[in-house]
């Protein structure tokens, strides 16, 4: 009997708002040498992603104009952007120590433990027209939580290196960050009409049968605290960057004025 694939892209949905879902396996033991070299091992994927993202940018631009006319993404563009979303999410999950198996260099990998359920659907043309404006709040939230995760990722790497696995609160908070980033990208790419939501997990879906460790995503108290810490650190990082940028601009302006004054007076010592 032929083996059935573990996952296959669902058909496009009509007039239905379906939130993209991320399926992750439960946190388990990982080989320490793969943890030690994780970010080095991921470099080839980021090189490939760089090229694919350039193509994806133009696909989104073309898809935006097409969606204004058709009320949906053309199938070839939707297929490419959905495949890119799945591939990007796999690479990020691997880099964030959520899984150990090395990601394949392919859009379609039904046997890989990280899967994304995204269902391109009919789009509201008005929402498409103002998509850049509508996505600003989610973009800010996504930027904060991801920036906060990066601020602590070295410590998570050390913890995983010592324990040989991610502790449950770290796994939950990291999964929540990866899922929200995936949902934001899907919304920004016009793959879904569903606004990014549920950064703090799916407590309202606690009674739903679990399909994976992240579907529904049930966060512990420690994981929720970590998500809050990510957001706070993201705010601190943005504030710090703004302060440094302002100081640099101020110093540049002061130096320019000093140089101009010196030039007008014939320079120092005259």
The pLDDT of residue 1: 38
The pLDDT of residue 92: 98
CA dihedral 87→92→98→101, nearest 10 degrees, is: 50
Query: How many CB atoms are located within 10 Å of the residue 247 CB?
Result: 10
The pLDDT of residue 239: 80
Q: Are 175 and 22 in contact (CB under 8 A)?
A: yes
Distances (CA, A) of 79 to 116, 143, 203: 13, 26, 31
What angle, rounded to 10 degrees, do the helices at 75-95 and 43-70 form?
A: 150
Length reported for the chain: 270
The pLDDT of residue 5: 43
Q: How many CA atoms lie within 13 A of 158 on its CB side?
A: 4
Rg (CA), the chain: 22
Tens of each residue's pLDDT in the chain, 270 residues: 344 344 444 454 444 578 999 999 999 999 999 999 999 999 999 999 999 999 999 999 999 999 999 999 999 999 999 999 999 999 999 999 999 999 999 999 999 999 999 998 899 999 999 999 999 999 999 999 999 999 999 999 999 999 999 999 999 999 999 999 999 999 999 999 999 999 999 987 767 788 899 999 999 999 999 999 999 999 998 888 777 766 766 565 556 566 655 555 555 443
Alpha helices (H) along the chain: 32-36, 38-41, 43-70, 75-95, 125-129, 131-134, 136-163, 168-188, 221-264
- CA of residue 53 relative to chain centroid, distance: 13
The pLDDT of residue 264: 57
The pLDDT of residue 270: 39
The pLDDT of residue 204: 77
């Amino acid at each position: 009997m032929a083996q059935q694939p573990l996952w296959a892209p669902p058909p496009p949905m009509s007039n239905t708002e379906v939130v993209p879902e991320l399926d992750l396996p439960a946190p388990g033991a990982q080989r320490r040498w793969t943890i030690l070299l994780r970010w080095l091992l991921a470099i080839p994927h980021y090189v490939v992603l760089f090229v694919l993202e350039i193509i994806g940018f133009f696909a989104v631009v073309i898809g935006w104009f097409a969606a204004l006319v058709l009320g949906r993404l053309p199938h070839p563009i939707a297929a490419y952007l959905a495949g890119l979303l799945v591939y990007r999410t796999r690479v990020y999950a691997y880099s964030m120590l959520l899984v150990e198996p090395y990601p394949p260099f392919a859009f379609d990998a039904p046997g890989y433990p990280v899967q994304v359920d995204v269902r391109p659907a009919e789009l509201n043309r008005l929402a498409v027209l103002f998509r850049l404006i509508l996505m600003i709040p989610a973009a800010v939230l996504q930027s904060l939580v991801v920036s906060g995760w990066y601020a602590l990722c070295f410590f998570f790497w050390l913890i995983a290196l010592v324990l040989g696995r991610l502790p449950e609160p770290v796994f939950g908070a990291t999964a929540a960050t990866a899922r929200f980033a995936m949902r934001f990208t899907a919304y920004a790419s016009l793959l879904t009409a569903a606004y990014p939501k549920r950064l703090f997990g799916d407590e309202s879906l606690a009674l739903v049968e679990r399909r994976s460790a992240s579907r529904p995503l049930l966060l512990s108290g420690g994981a929720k605290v970590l998500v809050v810490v990510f957001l706070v650190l993201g705010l601190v990082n943005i504030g710090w960057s703004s302060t440094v940028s302002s100081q640099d601009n101020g110093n540049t302006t002061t130096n320019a004025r000093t140089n101009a004054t010196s030039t007008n007076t014939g320079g120092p010592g005259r």
